[in-house]
Amino acid sequence: MRYSIIFRLAVGISFLLSSMMMVAQNDSQGLRSTYDFDYIYKLKMTNKKDDIQFDYYLKKDADYFGFDIAAMSQGQEGMKMFTVMDNANAVTGMFMEMMGKKIVKTSKIKLSDFTSDENDSDYTFKKIGSKTILGYNCDGFEGENADSKIIFYVTNEAPISFNKMWENGKTKSPKGFNPAWMEKYSKNALMMEMQFVDKKKDKNSMTMQCIGVEETNLTIKTSEYGSMLGALGN
C-alpha cells in the first residue's frame, strides 16, 4: 500500500468539496444503477472561521463512496444534496432533491485529479506516539516541510476504509517515510484525527477529527432521479 492512502486522506480529503463545484455534464451518464452504503464516517473540520461536518458514506471494499455536507444546502429550504464519487467509472454523481423533484447530474472526474504527487516529495516524515480515539487504537505520524506541518492518527481497526479508492496509485514514498510503517494498513486504514499547520498563513490551519463511525443502510437508485430539464418541464 502506498503511503498516500494515509497522507492524502489526511491532507486531501477537504479537496473533495471542490467536486461539488464542477460543471455538471450529461445527467446520469456513467453512473451505476445502484450505490449501497453500510457505514457513515463522520469527520469534523475546524478552522479559524467555523466548523464543517463531512458525512462520508462507505461500503466495505467498494471503489466508490458518497458524502453529504449539510452546510452546502443550509438556508435552501426543501433542498437535499448527496454526492457519489465513483472512482472506477471516473464520474461524480450529484443526487439532488429540490422543488419536489429528484434530479441527478454527473461530472467526469478522477480522484487522481485531487491527489497529485507533485508537492509531496519535500515532506519529511516521522512516526510519533499512539493513542486511542473513539475506542480505536491509532498510530501517529508527522510530516513537515518549510511551509507546513501535518500530524495525523490512523487506525486499522475500523470496519471500513478508503483503501480501495487509492490502490492503483503510485508507490513512491517521501523522504523519511518508512514503507514498513504502513504494512499493517495494507488492507484497512482510516484517519481518525489530523492537524494541519500552515507556517506562513495561520488562517489556513485546520484540524480534522473523526466524531463517529456508524452503521447505516442506504441505497441510492439512479433510476429514481431524472434530468434537470425534465424536472423543469414538469
DSSP assignment string, 87-112: TTTTEEEEEEEETTEEEEEEEE--GG
Residue-number span of the structural domain to which 176 is assigned: 116-210
- Going by the DSSP 8-state scheme, the letter that residue 204 receives in this structure is G
The percent of residues in the chain predicted with pLDDT above 90, rounded, is 39
Is the pTM higher than 0.85? The answer reads no
Q: Is the pLDDT reported for residue 190 higher than 70?
A: yes
Are both 105 and 122 inside the same structural domain? no
Can you tell me the distance from the alpha carbon of 87 to that of 20, in angstroms, rounded to the nearest whole number?
Answer: 15
pLDDT, mean of residues 162-178: 62
Query: What is the total count of domains within the chain?
Result: 2
Is 221:33 a contact under the CB 8 Å cutoff?
yes
Q: Please give the torsion angle defined by the CA atoms of residues 167, 171, 176 and 178, in that order, rounded to the nearest 10 degrees.
A: 60
| Sheet with 148-155, side-by-side order of all strands | 101-108, 91-98, 80-86, 64-68, 51-58, 34-46, 206-221, 190-198, 148-155, 136-144, 124-133
Q: Residue 123: its pLDDT value, please?
A: 79
User: Which residues 6+ apart lie within 8 Å of 56 measured at CB?
Assistant: 40, 41, 42, 43, 65, 66, 67
Q: Is the pLDDT reported for residue 77 higher than 80?
A: no
Are both 149 and 168 inside the same structural domain? yes
pLDDT, mean of residues 16-26: 43
Q: Is the pLDDT reported for residue 140 higher than 90?
A: yes
Are both 147 and 220 inside the same structural domain? no
Are both 10 and 31 inside the same structural domain? yes
Q: Chain centroid to CA 171: how far?
A: 20
